[in-house]
Structure 1
Amino acid sequence: MNIRRQLSRFAEQEDINFLLTNRIPRFALTRFMGWFSKIERPLVRDVSIGVWRLFADLDLSDAKKREFRSLHDCFVRELQDGARPIDMRPEILASPCDAIVGACGLIEGSEVLQIKGSPYDIGELLHDPELVEAHRDGCYATLRLTSSMYHRFHAPHDCRIERLTYFSGDVWNVNPIALRRVEKLFCKNERAVIRGKLAATGHSITLAPVAAVLVASMRFDFLDMTLSAAHEGPNVFACNASLTKGQQMGWFEHGSTIIAFAPMGFSLCAGVETGARIRVGVPLMRLPD
């Protein structure tokens, strides 16, 4: 435990952290990690998970299984049934993932914060004027998944997915240190834009999963497809998928970020604030009265 604490303190030093996680051959290391993490050899698996535990507070107590085939198998683990109760109240938009809440609040016109003091326009992230108008003066929440968290994400409400657009881009780290130093980082990284509407009310809901260093691929169940840097973008995938609240939508190959956007009239639920830790299924936003 003492060794892990010392390593964490070393890695948390801002200049060192930024250097180690960004001033590196990001694409090459991301491709290597994608290959290495899937090696199904007990020694490689055990050493990899052991090193991971040195740097992260990895808790596998709620995992569906105890034995993993590979490091990747552990990253994308499923949870035991009932491990994430879903708030089924119709007026509640539930969190789609386990996360630390980053910037959140009301959208000022079409402007949101990447981190305090660092704004960006959602048009540069979404590249969809219709979606920008749908969320003008609405509500947003940036949800950051750390490496040790549960990496699957779920439908925040009963909804219909109309379209997914996948954008190719960079793979900057998405931790707060990088967010302070790289302007409009989310708009530069590889990402998906999931366009949906609530089944009961027709409100537009948009989720934007953003890739990061060591994680440039995402699985989407409603497309039955894994998208990665190999899909030069933008790639547009038409959908007509009906999902129920809490239904699995897909997963990251490692920790990253999901930015949730809702229209004007939505509001953040109590306890959703910068730095808060939340889980799949807890109240994220409240629908208009």
Structure 2
Amino acid sequence: MNDTTAAPLQRGLLARLGAQEDLNFLLTNRIPRIAATRLMGRIANIESPAFTRLALRLWQWFTPLDLSEAKHQRFTSIKDCFTRELKDGARPFDMRPDVFASPCDAIVGATGVVQRGQVYQAKGFPYSTAELFGPTQDASVFEGGRFITLRLTSAMYHRFHAPADGTVEHVTYLSGDTWNVNPVALKRVERLFCRNERAVVRMRLRGGQPVALVPVAAVLVASIRLHWLDVLLHIGLDLESKGANEMPCSAPHAKGQEMGWFEHGSTIIVFVPRGFELAEGIAHGAYIRAGQALLKIS
């Protein structure tokens, strides 16, 4: 295929994707989101191989769900599929000491520098780090540093890993809504990440640098598992109080070690202080895999 014919085909695919995301936004944000997400959680936990096979066949009509890398090919539930392990060696991590690796498979969203406590979810849609991190966390350490939004689609590998050697020191879980986090929603709903349920995972790297990973829940994302706390966080059901829920910890992690998983798909926002630069090829719209170089210590 030559460049002359490839360009119209690419434009056609982008147009189709845009139309699908518009429809996705309209459908998922015109329903009772939290109720739908809780229902999805119950359905995903139904342990029936026959039901699971049927559900996955239907799902593959709407999304390119590739299970060829999965360690196991038979699943007892939808959740079992969405939180699947991969074959050994499927996600090798860049072990160079100056590399901060991607914690997950993702599509790169907004990237930039934190300026005056402000970052962007999409062009023209700013939000504050103070609001995202919640009233109990100090986000000022990331002023002048970088942020990267990593979007996990429903078809992707849903487990996330330590991006570098370091220790998780604190987790703050903030209850909230479950807006869709696709690109259409990010261009229409202001401060979306600050409205949704999320966890602020504060980590200190072996070199002393503070970093933060902020997994954000979304519609139909029924839970987030954090292994080192042996906690399953989902739609406030496991937590008695609303607002900020504090979970101090001291959990050493080696680069590439599994940290947890999303049930379905969602977003992780990465924050690093000054002294980091984007790795080669990291730009809006890029598809990346867990373990690939995301940032480099400059």
* Residue number in structure 2 paired with 1:117: 124
Task: Give the gaps of 5 or more residues in structure 1.
Answer: none
* Residue number in structure 2 paired with 1:155: 162
Q: State whether structure 2 residue 269 is matched by structure 1 residue 239.
A: no
Q: Distance in 2 between matches of 1:52 and 1:122?
A: 35
* Residue number in structure 2 paired with 1:281: 291
1:1-289 alignment runs, 5 A limit: 9=16, 12-13=19-20, 15-127=22-134, 131-199=138-206, 201-229=207-235, 230=237, 231=239, 232-288=242-298
**How many percent identity over aligned positions?**
54
Q: Distance in 1 between matches of 2:99 and 2:233?
A: 30
Q: Shift in Å at residue 15 of structure 1?
A: 4.7
1:213-272 per-residue CA deviation (whole Å, 9 max, x = no partner) reads 001410000101101121233110010000000000000011000000000121111111
1:192-220 per-residue CA deviation (whole Å, 9 max, x = no partner) reads 00001001x11001000000000141000
Structure 2 letter corresponding to 1:121: S
SS in 2 for 1:197: strand
SS in 1 for 2:168: strand
Task: Give the gaps of 5 or more residues in structure 2.
Answer: 1-11
SS in 1 for 2:139: helix
Q: Shift in Å at residue 40 of structure 1?
A: 1.4
Q: Shift in Å at residue 128 of structure 1?
A: 5.5
Q: Greater shift after overlay, 133-142 or 10-19?
A: 10-19
1:45-70 per-residue CA deviation (whole Å, 9 max, x = no partner) reads 11110111011111111101111111
* Residue number in structure 1 paired with 2:8: none
Q: Shift in Å at residue 43 of structure 1?
A: 2.7
Structure 1 letter corresponding to 2:108: V
Q: For the aligned residues, what is the CA RMSD?
A: 1.8
Q: Distance in 2 between matches of 1:15 and 1:45?
A: 28
Q: Distance in 2 between matches of 1:119 and 1:78?
A: 35
Q: Distance in 2 between matches of 1:277 and 1:109?
A: 29
Q: In structure 2, do the counterparts of structure 1 residues 143 and 15 end up closer, same or farther at CA, with 3 Å as the change threshold?
A: closer
